A and B are shown apart, each in its own frame.
Chain A
Amino acid sequence: QVQLVQSGAEVKKPGASVKVSCKVSGYILTELSMHWVRQAPGKGLEWMGGFDLEDGETIYAQKFQGRVTMTEDTSTDTAYMELSSLRSEDTAVYYCAVSQGYCSGGTCYDWFDPWGQGTLVTVSS
């Protein structure tokens, strides 16, 4: 089955960027729809964006447009999420997660399983 292993915790200063990796094993990354979800300390879950397998494009939540970039290295089956212009409110655990949903007629339906173990990103001066 699919297993996801994420990179380690990061501490960044405001205004900096962070790049989190998510290594896939047990499956080929190109056959997966990878998404990213974050969770601020003591808070709920927030979807950031993900890959639409049907048309081959990445969709980002409007809130993060212009600040987030999700990429994939298919040679190593590793997905990446880079977030720039960091601020204190970006302090959170960032998860990669595989969509188990489907796309039909140009519409996708995504629910997530499994998830990576999470990467804590702390933004502090």
Chain B
Amino acid sequence: EIVMTQSPATLSVSPGERATLSCRASQSISSNLAWYQQKPGQAPRLLLFGATTRATGIPARFSGSGSGTEFTLTISSLQSEDFAVYYCQQYSNWPPPYTFGQGTKLEIK
């Protein structure tokens, strides 16, 4: 099973600033990585897939980079609605299990 590790566990950033979230895979997953945003009491929402491709309707301030084992989600100029928990998910190994990181909580500084 591929283990996904996200860092930091909590990130405190001021509105208008940039946030950088990291996700590491225990083995190479090429670009088979998705990012999700989850707000309290809500289901996760897909942000990015293929490590860098934004899902439909996702603002351009969300961007992704990386391949292999190291990945980054960057949110430029944080808006109030961006404060949430973010998860990465690998979909590289077949047959599954698909695995998620433990999440990074992005909070207002």
Residues of A within 8 A of B (CB): 44-47, 49-50, 59, 61-63, 95, 97, 100-101, 106-118
Please tell me if B97 contacts chain A, counting CB pairs below 8 Å.
yes
**Known A46-B100, A47-B100, A61-B96; contact A111-B43, beta-carbon cutoff 8 A:** no
Contact, CB under 8 Å: B95 / A100: no
A110 touching B98, Cβ below 8 Å: yes
Q: Do B97 and A62 have beta carbons less than 8 Å apart?
A: yes
Q: Is the interface of B mostly helix, strand, loop or mixed?
A: loop
Please report B residues at the A interface, Cβ cutoff 8 Å: 32, 34, 36, 43-46, 49, 55, 87, 89, 91-92, 94-103
Of the A-B pairs whose beta carbons lie under 8 Å apart in the complex, a sample of 17, sorted by A's number, is A44-B87, A45-B44, A47-B97, A50-B96, A63-B97, A100-B46, A101-B49, A101-B91, A106-B94, A109-B92, A109-B94, A111-B49, A112-B34, A112-B89, A113-B46, A115-B45, A117-B43
A interface: dominant SS? strand
Contacting residues, chain A, for B36 (C-beta < 8 A): 45, 112
* A112 close to B46 (CB less than 8 A): yes
